[in-house]
Chain A
Amino acid sequence: MQRGNQRGNEALSARLSPFQKIYLLLVAGFIVGPFLPVIVQSLAFRWAWPELLPGTWWLEQRETSMIPLAWDYVLSPYSRVWEATVNTVFIGSVVTVICLAICLPVARLLARDSFAGKSAFEFFLSLPLIVPEAAIGIALLMIFIRLGLAGGYVGIIVAHLIPTIPYMVRMLAAVYQGLGREFEEQAMILGARPSQILWRVTLPMLLPGVVAGALFTFLVSTNIFLLTFFLGQGQVITLPTLLFSKISGGNLDTTAAAITLIVTLPGIILLIISERFIKEEAFGKGFGS
């Protein structure tokens, strides 16, 4: 695998002109670049302009300090990072599964059927993306308090569905549109049961869209601050609520930098997994060729 990739890379680089290489490097630098100062900051004790690197590193102060600094703080129970990570991943996963279950039938309907009021429906579907989160948050909080849903996971999960459903529906509808009815009809003619068609024909062909939609939903959910804070009533800590209490005013101190890096981890891990998944499961079997 490793070798294969390497050979592939060599073959690729041999084909690229110097300009293309520089261009790719620039783009890569643009994407990875912002992470570098954050990583350095997370290891610093004091890092002031115009020093290129921190004048004092965290490790130099580690022994003499009375309190846990930098990563010692972040990895200690005081920072609540572990609790927040577990909550974030749990909420994100549940939201993604529920969102998929809701959106698959809707997307199918939107992509394949036309009905009265369809364009109005599509328009209203986007409304949650336009209305400010704070307005949705306060209004939902009022309702959920009366329903007894505030202050717990259920309320947060329901709230997270509001901004994620529009994205998911749009992504899935696009995939459905690209996927003709012929494949399913063919399977039906060949005698497959509806459940077989769903599991063996429709879902595998939808998989890239499903994975992309799920990934997006998960990432959106793990980044929602205001709705989580309001509906969790501050009792449910997630990575965004933790980070927002740490950063403000555009100044990133050492522990905020370390927490920032941790916040990106679930997304990066998921991205790597889904990348593999899409390639091997769908494209690997020759889909789309």
Chain B
Amino acid sequence: MKPKVSISTLLAIFAATSVWADDAGDAAFRDAFLSGGADWPAVEARAAEEGEVNIFYWGGNDLLNIWMDRVVAPAMAERGVTLNPVRITGTKDAVDLVLAEKNSGKGIGQGSVDMIWINGENFATLKRQDALFGSFAQSLPNSVNLEWDESDPRALLNVRDFGVPNDSAEVPWSGEQYVCAVNSARVADGDVPSTFAELKAYLAENPGKFTYVKPPHYLGNTFVQAAVYAHNPDGTGAAPFQQSIDDIAPEELARLIAPGFEYLQSIEPNLLDAGGSPRYPEDNKALDGLFLNGEIDFSCKFGLYAVAKGLETGTYPEAARQFIFPENTMIKNKNYLVIPGNAPNAAAALVLANWMTSVDSQVSKLESVGMPSGIDGWKLGADDAERLAAASPGLVGVTQAELDANAAPDTNATLVDVIEATWLEVIERDTAASIEEVVTAAYANLGK
């Protein structure tokens, strides 16, 4: 258990007493680069001088660990930079580290974290605390592989992280979609649900054979968001949830999410049972374990290629395959690489970020780790696009066209906080208060 409260309280106390100091050379480099005054060869030369780069990332995936050592480290070595991959339990640990350093006066160039694999709430925290290096993503040579033209709706995933404008302070690394897998050895084809109503009917027949990850984990939040989209009383799906908390009144939000929450309450008695109360797994790995052991028949998470890779590593049952659920509300997002404001090797981090967005690295990552491409296929030449498509470990049971046709955008990060708080109050604590009261209280707690 991580006592979040005590950490943030302490950070606040220390922040009040901190003295901000910057390294002059690093500050000059940052200003020059962000204002477009440093050409790329100069950045590369500086990176080789810095000599190392510390990337912090979730270390629970063996395939990714191997790829970092086998592929990324040699690629960086060619550029005169030693890669130091730091594997962490949760992204929040790295964010806490950056903020602790910042608050104890470690300014530009004086921290210990050069890059973090990040998205959503953790990025929003760094942004709120003004702990970002700056708008670097569009200045990387390989940024040509990404869509930045905001008149194209597909560019939204590159410039907004969970609805929060990222000001190019992070560069897209991987794209994901919330996809469910079914153990087809246990469920007949005709019984596989494609809507929430069908899932409910399946659970009535087969009680206990499904559950979702417990919010506030993002995998759980996403399931709740999908249910909320699908039950939007106006039938406008994800659209109203793209607004920030400042633009939508609590009463209106409560009205929009109420049917979704009523649905979640209605399926609760038939979810996986843990001695009289439903069991919500804590995270990705716990969910995989339940699915492998046949305790649940369907497993929903971000994992376009989770089934293909799970079969390769033995973490998925042999009969696993993907299916389209819930129709039209399969949430899609991206995850990113961010450079913290006090990165000690900012030039090396930029070189790493640039390499990570190259076609070569994306092809290799897709092939070996099964992490979907973060760059945009339509921005590539025909050959590169072809290579990227060929590298895919493969969808199992669904087609890319079906996934695209059912895609939905993520919820604005500020609203995710409210939805998360509402879930904890309404589902977990079984409050007697109405959803409107809960949402209003959540708004007040979030300082709005």
Contact = CB atoms under 8 A, between A and B. Distances in A.
A250 interface: yes
A251 B285 contact: yes
Nearest to A137: B7
B60 A245 contact: yes
Contacts of B288: 251
B281 A249 contact: yes
Interface residues of A, number: 48
B285 A248 contact: yes
Contacts of B289: 249-251
A145 B3 contact: no
B286 A250 contact: yes
B59 A245 contact: yes
A132 interface: yes
Contacts of B368: 66-67
Contacts of B86: 234-235
Chain A binding surface, main DSSP class? mixed
Contacts of A255: 62
A8 to B, nearest CB: 44
Contacts of B84: 235
B283 interface: yes
Contact of A248 (B10, B65, B282): B282
A280 B294 CA distance: 53
Contact of A245 (B88, B100, B112): B88
A247 to B, nearest CB: 8
B371 interface: no
Interface string A55-68: 01000010001111
Given A49-B293, A245-B89, A145 B104 contact: yes
Interface in A248-270: 248-251, 253-255
Interface string B39-58: 00000000000000010101
Interface in B176-229: none
B345 to A, nearest CB: 13
Nearest to A141: B100
A35 B104 CA distance: 43
B313 A69 contact: yes
Q: Which of A50, A79, A132, A141 has the most CB of B within 10 A?
A: A141
Given A69-B313, A145-B106, A233-B97, A78 B283 contact: no
A24 B285 CA distance: 36
B10 A234 contact: no
Nearest to B369: A67
Given A235-B84, A245-B87, A229 B93 contact: yes
Nearest to B316: A46
Contacts of A229: 88-89, 93
Give 9 nearest A-B pairs by CB, closest first: A249-B286, A245-B59, A251-B289, A49-B293, A46-B314, A249-B282, A234-B86, A45-B314, A251-B285
21 contacts: A44-B314, A46-B318, A48-B317, A66-B312, A66-B368, A67-B313, A69-B313, A78-B62, A78-B70, A134-B7, A135-B7, A135-B10, A138-B6, A138-B10, A145-B100, A150-B112, A229-B89, A244-B89, A245-B59, A248-B286, A249-B289
